[in-house]
Structure 1
Amino acid sequence: MFRGLDTSIALAWLQRAYNADVVAFCANLGQVDDLSHVEARARKNGASAVYMDDLREEFIREYAFRSLRAGALYEGRYHMAASLGRPLIAKRLVEIAHMEGADAIAHGATGKGNDQVRFFSSVMALDPTLRVIAPVMEWDLTTRSKQIGYAAQYGIEIPAFKSSPYSRDSNLWGTSVECGELDDIGKLPPRDAYTLTADPDEAPHEAVDIAIDFAGGVPVRLDGAALSAAELVAALNRIGGAHGIGRLDIIENRLVGFKVRGVYESPAAEILSQAMRELENLVLDRDLLHMKTGLSQHYAELIYDGKWFSGRREALDAFFESYAHKVTGTIKLRLNRGRVTIVSRSAPEALYNLEISSYESDVGFDQTAGVGFSYIWSMQGRVAALQKAAKAPEPVAEPSRQMAV
């Protein structure tokens, strides 16, 4: 994954530290970075081979949309764009290692982040015979100036970059921003922290309505146009971002044990999440819907915790797949200055029955049955109250007082 300053240096550093041939890999997940010079730079810095893979479609279809179907939001809010990309990158790294006959995999994650665990766990689940190396956690190049000095000393070509106080990671599913002024949790994020979304206060006053068609729990059309998974997400990012949709500022409980502030932008993920939730409310019965809510949390945690390649994920996927055929229909939404509003819903297997639901109708529902239903439903509480009353001690009578005349 050699495209930034750390990883450009790591490519050359690995050759010296381990006397190794290094194969470079860069995954295109739809990040905002300019990847046009990555291959040439990797070869100039000594890579014996370079793989540049466009994984956008696979990433959205097989990872992001599985998370969407599961309703997975870490701590109930975060769409986990970065977390979802790591297992796919790790899978491809293992495949390349096998093709090239490599015995180790290196990544650019730091010791304070979650990604070190995600990469290590994913590689071990796929091939435990491979060694995982984290150069950033081994070398003494702890500052940007030291890294630049190292590059100059050994003639390493590094990317041109603008000084930024932020640590930023992006792909088609969203962007995460940390560090710099964001470390002060007593202040709003600076305006320059956001790159994908307009400030809701400055977004167009005129709302835009969109329609999303789902088939088998997967979004397949936007405003009637059939799009690939990556195309649909990219289009929603553009539309939603222009209207200030998808901003999130949270205190997040990091896997490695401490809290951080994270600022996220996920226009498409937020729009699709709200549309999917509304469609499921329409087509799933109460018991199934409530059961799914608890399992959604498990799914979110396994993504965040780097356990994508696990029996638990496969079992949960089987559960969500079992009713996915019901999640077919159209949701129309209105986007306006940071807000998403449901305009209409329709689905072939909708469980909404107007004749039963309406207070203006007597069809299909016998209101006189409510007395018996309420009597039986309240029996547990009634029995407990009677038992409690039976065990209560008799009140002690106070002695009577007589007034002498």
Structure 2
Amino acid sequence: MQKSNVNKVVLAYSGGLDTSVIIPWLKENYTSCKVVAFIADIGQQLNDINEIKIKAKQLGADECYVIDIKEEFVSDYIYPMLKTGAIYENSYLLGTAIARPIIAKTQVDLALRIGADALCHGATGKGNDQVRFESTYAALAPQLHIIAPWREWKLKSRKELLNYLKKLGISSNASTEKIYSKDENVWHISTEGGILEDPWNIATKECWTWTLDPLDAPDQPENITIKINQGGIISVNGENLNPYQCLHNLNVLGAKHGVGRIDIVENRLIGIKSRGCYETPGGTIMMTALRAVEQLVMDRDSLKLRDYLAKEMSYLIYDGKWFTPTSKSIQSAALSLAEDINGEITIQLYKGQSKAIQKKSGNSLYSREFATFGEDTVYDQGDAEGFIRLYSLPSRIRALKNKFN
């Protein structure tokens, strides 16, 4: 599609430096096109959404829509992800990655509703988000044209973006001395860029936003109780809450104790390694609680399958494949496995750590009578002899064959 043929574009607008440049850039380069800014409310706290909306209009957006999707985000995306156990490269709780499918879906829905013929995002040509946004666009509305400014314009760095805005007389909160890329939603906040681009540099206080430094956290541990039903958190400290409220409350509790900080180098989908400081306090607590109940309830084969599904799902989410048959199948399997994941957990929060110190479940397969080191009347230890002979039979046959050959 030629630029002159684009009549209306919906931009996923965050209020950050990149998308703030994109609005005037679109007006300058797609001259006959109406620019509609779309702001997804996914629980971000750093910036006032009303101020972001005002800023979008000041930058030249013809229309601006704010759509609150934070409760849907937690219940329909985060909770299903939690049931799969997905963690990317054994560290990253997928805070940015899991938000992209719902943002892109809502953007598509808005575009179709208002008759737009194009979609626009601010992801760079080096990152994962371009794939995540555009894979969702392709799955839900392949007929819409895609504008990816970082792959079109001649601006090569965020320093040049600042200069572009300066020439237009537009102020920005970012600076050439401290250009951090932050992504925030109710599940996590990430910080990238700046001094973090050198992995030898120690992350400074500016690299952390939500959580207290574990060294400065309270000297006394805090115990909290969590109830789980079918793999979902339903109660915190005896108070029944919806998924969003559970996560919000656990974020507050976890942040106070410095829980959920990671400083990692990860493999991006396109092959570049990147470093980020991620904070997921409530999510870390949720993962701890769910895994504790699974230890009680899941048999060995079920847990093995869940672990396999977790790794596969982590790649699907990271790679932008939420709206695919494979993703749907894994979620269905995880939902089935989670049917008996009910229980109550006591979590201890202390100096950056989240530990399950008490656990119980009506579906627990743990039996003190069988596991005890004391005397019991339910297990005949002599039965193990026959089991071991059969279990080790292939090794025995192999050894005998080698001996006589």
Instruction: Give a deviation string over 1:130-183, Cα, whole Å, max 9, x none.
Output: 12111122112334454344335456x555446623221111111111222212
TM-score normalised by L of structure 1:
0.92
Of residues 354-363 and 86-95 in structure 1, the stretch that sits farther from structure 2 once superposed is 354-363
What is the distance in 1 between the residues matched to 2:368 and 2:160? 69
Q: CA deviation at 1:8?
A: 2.0
Which letter does structure 2 place at the counterpart of 1:189?
A
Aligned-residue offset at 1:390: 2.7
1:174 aligned partner: 188
2:57 corresponds to which of 43, 58, 76: 43
Indicate which of 343, 357, 371 corresponds to 1:357. 371
CA-CA distance at 1:290 after TM superposition: 1.0
- After TM superposition, the structure 1 stretch with the greater mean CA deviation from structure 2, 228-237 or 138-147, is 138-147
Q: Is the 8 A contact 2:302 2:337 kept in 1?
A: no
Q: Is the 8 A contact 2:190 2:277 kept in 1?
A: yes
Tell me the equivalent position of 2:264: 250
The unaligned stretches of length 5 or more in structure 2 are: 1-11
Q: 2:18 aligned with 1:6, yes or no?
A: yes
The residue identity in structure 2 corresponding to 1:327 is I
Counterpart of 2:125?
Answer: 111
Q: Which has the larger radius of gyration?
A: 1
Instruction: Report what 1:58 is aligned to.
Output: 72
SS, match of residue 38 in structure 2: strand
The offset of 1:36, in angstroms, is: 2.3
Partner of 1:396: none
1:178-225: per-residue Cα shift (whole Å, max 9, x none)? 222212222431222111111111111100000111111110110010
Are residues 1:226 and 2:233 paired?
Answer: no
After superposition, residues 170-319 of structure 1 pair within 5 angstroms as 170-319=184-333
The alpha-carbon distance between structure 1 residues 183 and 6, as it changes in their structure 2 partners (threshold 3 A), is closer
Whole-Å separation in 1 of the counterparts to 2:158 and 2:320: 28
1:323 and 2:337 correspond: yes
- Number of the residue aligned with 2:5: none
1-structure distance, mates of 2:377, 2:217:
47
SS of the aligned residue for 1:82 comes to coil
2:8 is matched with none
Measure, in 1, the Cα distance between the counterparts of 2:68 and 2:188: 17
Matched, 1:127 2:105: no
Conservation of the 8 A alpha-carbon contact between 1:8 and 1:158: no
Whole-angstrom CA distance in 2 between matches of 1:261 and 1:52: 31
Helix, strand or coil for the counterpart of 2:377?
coil
Post-superposition offset of 1:122:
1.0
Residue 227 of structure 1: CA displacement?
1.5
Q: Rate the CA distance shift 1:12–1:198 in 2: closer, same or farther, 3 A.
A: same
**Which SS does the other structure have where 1:80 is aligned?**
coil
Taking the aligned partners of 2:119 and 2:226, their CA distance within structure 1 comes to 40
What is the one-letter code of the residue matched to 2:82? L
Q: Find the aligned partners of 1:100 and 1:248 in 2 and give their Cα distance.
A: 41
CA deviation after TM superposition for structure 1 residue 368, in Å: 1.3
Cα shift at 1:266: 0.7
May I ask how many residue pairs the two structures share in their alignment?
390
- Alignment deviations for residues 91-114 of structure 1 (CA, whole Å, 9 cap, x no partner): 001101101111110000001111
1:30 corresponds to 2:40: no
Matched residues in 2 for 1:389 and 1:323: separation? 46
Unmatched runs of 5 consecutive residues or more in structure 1: 392-405
1:337-376 mapped onto 2 (5 Å cutoff): 337-376=351-390
| Secondary structure in structure 2 of the residue aligned to 1:81 | coil
Once residues 5 and 261 of structure 1 are traced to their aligned partners in structure 2, the CA distance between those partners, rounded to angstroms, is 20
Corresponding residue SS for 1:124: helix
One-letter amino acid of the structure 2 residue matched with residue 123 of structure 1:
Y
SS in 1 for 2:189: strand
Among 104, 116, 132, the alignment partner of 1:102 is 116
Structure 1 residue matching 2:133: 3-state secondary structure? helix
Q: Percent identity?
A: 37
The whole-number CA distance in structure 1 between the counterparts of 2:219 and 2:255 is: 14
1:7 CA drift (Å): 1.1
The reply on whether 1:68 has 2:82 as its aligned counterpart is: yes
CA distance in 2, matches of 1:385, 1:66: 48
* Aligned residues of 2:162 and 2:172 also touching (Cα < 8 A): no
> Given the two structures, how large is their TM-score scaled by the length of structure 2?
0.92
